[in-house]
A and B are shown apart, each in its own frame.
Chain A
């Protein structure tokens, strides 16, 4: 049986005055997955997350978390009871100390895990008596993570969790997330434009561009199905012949035609044989290449 879906959006739209932030976004996040939500700056990642958590109202389409409609105020409270969120700004209360922040947050969550709180306090070496405003960006991120990981949530929603962190701190944060997800069996939904970290920890992804989903699926399946086929012709390059379902991009550069297939190489190779290329080369595609191909304009 397929994993149940924790987050689902269909045709989700958001318009800010004249700006269309989301133009019909479709997402399905399976339970228990580490879901990487990729997109360029301004692609609509933060807007999507805010809609899911009831901070922004959608202007069209629908979205559910745990099967609950995000635009229902009562359901939205229940969603936030079962989900934890870390914003990209890691905004916390500057006037509180680390201990006060922990006590404040724990008060809202009956399933608060004191054992995890203690574990992460030690692991992250957070000074309990220090004011939040005196914490470094890295420490602030760690505190925000501690507050999220300890609340016994079924879903962690992280908006650019490693933004502004040095590589060592990034690694520490990612390892903590993976370890926590494995131990607790929760779903992690995290947005990023750092391909490497998504590649490192995600098992499913969605790439969005200009408010729409352009690629989505299990990362292993995408790696299996995405193929770049490079064909060299002697004469005129017939680009039109390759536009078909399962072909994401067709690019021409001189006598070289590069076809990005999302459904393996066989379809493209079948068509290419009829056109007699002088050489054919099939190469697997990295996540970075999938991302770049998905979010850059076609020639």
Chain B
């Protein structure tokens, strides 16, 4: 029954996230023919500087469907959207429930650790479904634009999204055991994400170690190897934050 309750608590966030990610992924796939049509114009572009360089790189990646999907989706829109979705799903829970049922939940013959574990598992399960659904939409829709996208690529990138997203999920989850409203955990988690993204831009040397590099499946795209160190590190950080959340909740008075 706790699973059902967790689903009721998060279902709207999950459904909105599902809609957002599917529309975004579908949009990227379905606009590919128009992007291809624009490529000759980019070739004629002779702007210099960093911007010109970026445009030429993007155009080069867009010539191949797999590269286009990676640059526009996994390395592009998905990173921002996925971070927001992960943080959003991590918020809420017992502390934020307040007078809308927290005491009722606590009066059930269930330990706080189990309450927390079910909520975390339900949230992570929803994230896995979201990542796989959005990922699998790519090979499903690719034939509509005359292209093919490998199922294996979709699954690997979905797993990278999931593992790195778990960091922001668990951060919001941890913060939700301290704050009684859902907004502060969300804002703090997103602020941390923004700071990481800025550090990644300013200190290029840090990029290989960034959670966003894991999220985009950069290593897999470039080398075909799974980013095990990044995935392991992301999951370890998440596990540590879940552990702190259990300590936090165990010490809390309601």
Which A residues are closer than 8 A to B by beta carbons?
16, 50, 53-57, 73-74, 76-78, 80-81, 84-85, 87, 89, 91-96, 103-105, 107-109
Contacts and interface: CB of A to CB of B under 8 A. Distances in A.
B52 interface: no
Contacts, number: 67
B253 interface: yes
Contacts of A92: 101, 104
Given A56-B254, A57-B253, A104-B4, A80 B108 contact: yes
Interface string B237-254: 000000000000011011
A146 to B, nearest CB: 13
Contacts of A104: 1, 4-5
12 contacts: A55-B103, A55-B253, A56-B254, A57-B253, A73-B113, A74-B111, A78-B109, A81-B109, A91-B99, A91-B102, A95-B9, A108-B1
B13 to A, nearest CB: 13
A108 B109 contact: yes
B112 interface: yes
B254 to A, nearest CB: 5
Contacts of A16: 253
Interface in B105-146: 106-113
B8 interface: yes
Interface of B: 1, 4-5, 8-9, 99-104, 106-113, 250-251, 253-254
B99 to A, nearest CB: 5
B246 to A, nearest CB: 11
A105 B2 CA distance: 10
Contacts of B110: 77, 80, 108
A93 B109 contact: no
A220 B102 CA distance: 38
B1 A107 contact: yes
Contact of B104 (A57, A73, A78, A93): A93
A91 B8 contact: no
Nearest to B113: A73
Given A54-B106, A81-B109, A95 B8 contact: yes
A77 B4 contact: no
B101 A94 contact: yes
Contacts of B106: 53-55
A171 B107 CA distance: 26
Nearest to A76: B111
Contacts of B113: 73
Contacts of B8: 93, 95-96
Nearest to A54: B106
A91 B254 contact: no
Nearest to A82: B109
A58 B22 CA distance: 49
Given A92-B101, A94-B101, A73 B254 contact: no
Contacts of A91: 99-104
A55 B4 contact: no
B5 to A, nearest CB: 7
A93 B101 contact: yes
Contacts of A56: 253-254
A53 B107 contact: yes
Contacts of A76: 111
Nearest to B100: A94
A189 to B, nearest CB: 13
A93 B100 contact: yes
Contacts of B1: 103-104, 107-108
Contacts of A74: 111
